[in-house]
Structure 1
Amino acid sequence: MTLLEVRNLSKQFGSITALADVSLSVEAGQVHAVMGENGAGKSTLIKALSGIQPASSGSVSMRGEVIAIESLADAAAHGIRTVFQELHIVPQLSVAENILLGALPRRRGLIDRSERDRVAVEVLAQLGVDLDPGRPAGKLSRSEQQIIEICRALLGRVDLLILDEPTASLGEPETRQLLDIVRRLTERGVGVIYVSHRMNEVLEIADKITVLRDGNYIATHDAPVSADRLVHDMIGRAPGELYLHEPVEPGEVLLDVKHLSNSSVHDATFNVRAGEIVGVTGLIGSGKSEIARAIYGLDPVESGEVRIGGANCLGWSPARMLKQGLMYYPSDRKREGLALNRPLRESITLGALKRGGFLAGGLIRAKQEAAETEQLAERLSLRPSTTAAPAGNYSGGNQQKALIARGMIHRADVHVFDEPTVGIDVGAKADVYAQIDAYARAGAGVLLVSSDLTEVIGVSDRVYVVAEGRIQAELIGDDINEAAIASHFFTES
């Protein structure tokens, strides 16, 4: 039975067309994935179906009846609920209070706590999740907070659930849990629109997949469909162009870490050589990101050696590490990498004003800064290529490119990337991988910390696997494959 029918949906913002004649349908109990690069129109489609930004033209039908969606309340009245990528959690409130946020049951003018907890437990049970309704939401993991959002959406009538990048910040175990929840919902007859950049999970969960590009409808595929076909539809070029790194004979050791230890990292020993891309992977919480942060001086260290250019830099500040030739790209670019309310060019030159020649007599040479950052933006296919807009206005992929542009100004010997492609589309990923490869080809060393096994396997010359804060294995050559990596994710103890 056709639950949702979207016909020729379009959305204009002035003279700009964000969505053009997009059509798709969702059956009851079906998962229909929507894929595309940032700027493809996915968010505009979600906002139109949710009532946040009503469509300019076209029609939406539920069970054969054309409906008007002018607000979130309109969408909810027709059984359309959306869980957005940005979570809306009040950390000081309990699980139950967050689930019923804005709809807390009352008795004699006071909150009915027993009814509140009863409803929360009931909706959690529908998803097969065991969460303490009285636990503060701020103490939950990201995946548990995501479950609260889904529970909130299920409180009222829900015929169609829209999930916007639900696993963008989740590791493998948490992703598996969320996919199980989606399956339970479809078994109840709920239709799901699933928006994600993660190819593997889309291929696993989706019954149909629609691809958008530049606001236009490209194709709808019935599962199964090849990843190569989807990538080609999304970026308009061959998937083989995604991973371009060709192994070379590595040069001298540029980063040499021995017995690095702190509260999260235990006796980590590894190295990175010139021209080499070294992957570091493991489950969320394994300690892989903590290794990168300890090297750069963001987290305190207790013992060991971190040698760059012959000097033991253990415990040095990030500023000293940067001067020594190590560039770090944080996983949380919004909180740790960018000044979101300031022009993007300032984020690109952050910490690099002197190195980039943008200072004269203690003053910033603003015209030169603007000109050179826009040249870098053009080289990295950053869109829009202007760097004058606030950094927060750009998509995740373009924000990541801004961080990479900063690294190009610093001309570092060692580049440490922590989850460089989290939450960005496949086209932006191709551009990020191309620049990582360019650093290696220029003779720099690259340390790539990532939970994405596909990218680790695709670009790495060597791979270190981390579990419980310890390096469990070093893999090279044909041993760099998913089965071999995953076999070291768990310790025997």
Structure 2
Amino acid sequence: MSAQPLIETKALTRQYPGVLALNAVDFDLHSGEVHVLFGENGAGKSTLISMLAGANTPSQGSVILDGQKVKFDSVADAQKKGIYTVFQEFSLIPTLTVAQNIFLGWEPMKGPFIDHRTMRKRAYEMLLELGFDIDPNAVTSHLSRAQQQMVEITKAFHGDLKVLILDEPTASLTDKEVDHLFEFVNELKAKGVGIIYISHRIQEFFRIANRVTVLRDGAKIGTVNMAETNEDALVEMMTGRAIDEIYPKIEQGTGEILLTVEGLRTAGIHDAFFEVRAGEILGVAGLVGSGKSRLFRTVMGLTTRVHGTVKMRGKDISHAPTRDIINEGIYYLSPDRKAEGLDLAKPSKDNLAINLVMGDKVGGNGQLVKWSEVNAEAATISDYVELHEGYRNKPVSQLSGGNQQKVLFGKCFGQNADIIIFDEPTVGVDMGTRAALYLLIKELAESGKAVVVISSDLPEVMNLSHRMLILAHGHISAELSGDDMTEEQVLKFFFDETGAKL
């Protein structure tokens, strides 16, 4: 690591009316290192990188690049100085081709016209050099999110790239795509590029990070070498509390069997048999592509069932449409809150009101809706999920990921559901918000509800569950409970599709 930082900040501060978003933060990045910014939603991470990226200007403090104090007039200005940011929300234009997006603002010209042939050729060469197997002629909207991210990264390589900022880069990637991204990150490190990396996934830090800086409430808590710390210490720095305070102890009920699934089969799922019981948290784990989400989407009628039966309290609902399944008392929260879970253009109170009216929990009889009751209940639910009053009238699109997830959780309280299925309940959510959501799951289970938690986060699903189903290649490879729910056992059955009951 070089003696002089590649880029650093000194007492960097950003003040908004009534809000100190960043408070005198010192931060530095060296050539050839990955420096992680870690903290809860609202900790100041996005504010800090927005100023390094040229999207925002500091109220006080300074940014120093290669030993010289700099001021960025715009994102384009920062890019010209070698700083490129891949934000969580991409800047790609979906109707343009890959080549057009890569060269947007950098178009090669032939006289007064864009030289499209040269642009395609150079885009192909750039993608090939970076190891990205993407057709430069493809329309960007037709690409997977991982491929779009690769295009976004490729855009950084027009000039002399010094600093690459990656904001939640693995949030929507498969394990294989994450491996490819990390290989690429290590190649950039070897070339001397400095990388600022933002993620909530601590397990990723051990694979690529050199150092971690923790922010809380806009202030720097500290910087640690990755080789000299552990997950527990980082969580405690971030939240101010020990990791064993994050996961609550959840009492197990001895309720009736509510859901029975026998021989369920669909594309990617092979003859699944299991039960869901009241007062219990059933965890569902498996690698990406194992079928864990597809299994319960089939139960909900969201994926076509090929064979088998689904019974709710003994009643066959195998052929029922999703609306009728919900009315029978099963509610499913999608892992994709933006595409399936929430109306982003509407405020949280309207999102909650939709479920309250459709669920017939409040609001009157027949065609008459008592909006005073609906609004009062929506406010009660918002209080319950700890959604700040100032956020309730804002469009959901303007809320942080953690607050969007609170709204999504709140929707399940608008239904008279006996089984609540949480599919990836804390994706993109910080530890502080996770702790609050885990308490809601605890209260649901201890009130007698049956709760299903489908998660790719193994510590999460193991710490919350009373019983676990492990899926491998579309098969339920194991059902574990009690002392058998160890990480060693779970990981073993991730790759064993032969089936076992312990």
Give the structure-1-normalised TM-score.
0.93
SS state at 1:34 partner: strand
Cα deviation 1:126-181 (Å, max 9, x = unaligned):
43333343444444332222111111122222101110000111232222221121
Within a 5 Å distance, the mapping from 1:117-196 to structure 2 comes to 117-196=120-199
Give the Å deviation of 1:289.
1.4
Asked if residue 449 in structure 1 is aligned to residue 454 in structure 2, the reply is yes
- CA gap of 1:219–1:339, structure 2 versus 1, over 3 A, is same
Tell me which residue corresponds to 1:474. Answer: 479
Structure-to-structure mapping, 1:400-479, within 5 angstroms: 400-479=405-484
Structure 2 CA distance for partners of 1:385 and 1:244, relative to 1, 3 Å: farther
Q: Which residue of structure 1 aligns with residue 79 of structure 2?
A: 76
Give the deviation of 1:420 after TM superposition: 0.9
Kindly report which structure 2 residues correspond to 1:42-53, keeping only aligned pairs within 5 A, or say none: 42-53=45-56
Q: What letter matches 1:371 in structure 2? A: A
In 2, Cα distance between equivalents of 1:483 and 1:61: 47
Would the aligned equivalents of 1:309 and 1:324 in 2 still touch at CA under 8 Å? no
Give the letter aligned to residue 282 of structure 1: G
Contact 1:261 1:302 in 2 (8 A): yes
Please list, as runs of the form range in 1=range in 2, the aligned pairs for 1:8-407 lying within 5 A after superposition. Answer: 8-91=11-94, 93-108=96-111, 111-224=114-227, 225-246=229-250, 248=252, 250-353=254-357, 355-359=360-364, 362-384=367-389, 386-407=391-412
Residues 37 and 234 in structure 1, CA contact (< 8 A), matched pair in contact too:
yes
Alignment gaps of 5+ in structure 2 = none
- Whether the aligned pair in 1 keeps the contact of 2:476 and 2:497 (CA below 8 Å) is no
Query: For the structure 1 residues 229 and 444, does the alpha-carbon distance in structure 2 shift closer, same or farther, using more than 3 Å as the test?
Result: same
Question: Structure 1 residue 454: deviation in Å?
Answer: 2.1
Residues 186-240 of structure 1 show CA distances to partners (whole Å, capped at 9, x for unaligned) of 1111111101111111233221111111222222112231212221222222211
Cα offset, 1:315, TM superposition:
3.0
Deviates more, 1:121-130 or 1:163-172: 121-130
- Of 184-193 and 220-229, more deviation after overlay is shown by 220-229
Contact 1:22 1:216 in 2 (8 A): yes
- Structure 1 counterpart SS, 2:332: strand
Distance 2:272 2:104 in 1: 44
SS at match of 2:126: helix
Partner deviation per Cα, 1:89-123 (whole Å, 9 max, x = no partner): 44555443433334333435555455334433433
Map Cα deviations across residues 36-56 of structure 1 (whole Å, 9 max, x no partner): 111111111121111212222
Shifted more, 300-309 versus 361-370: the winner is: 361-370
Structure 1 counterpart SS, 2:479:
strand
Q: Deviations over 1:371-397 (max 9, x none)?
A: 332332233222356522222222111
Higher deviation after alignment, 144-153 or 111-120: 111-120
Q: Any stretches of 5+ residues in structure 1 without a counterpart?
A: none
Amino acid at match of 1:28: S
Question: What RMSD in Å do the two structures reach over aligned CA positions?
Answer: 2.3
Offset of residue 491 of structure 1: 6.3
Give the letter for the 2:345 counterpart.
N
Aligned residues: 493
Give the TM-score of the pair, scaled to structure 2: 0.91
Look up the equivalent residue of 2:394 and give its one-letter code: A
Q: Return the offset for 1:466.
A: 2.4
SS at match of 2:204: helix
User: How far did residue 263 of structure 1 move?
Assistant: 2.9
What SS does the corresponding residue of 2:106 show, helix, strand or coil? Answer: coil
Conserved 8 A contact 1:169-1:422:
no
Q: Percent identity?
A: 41
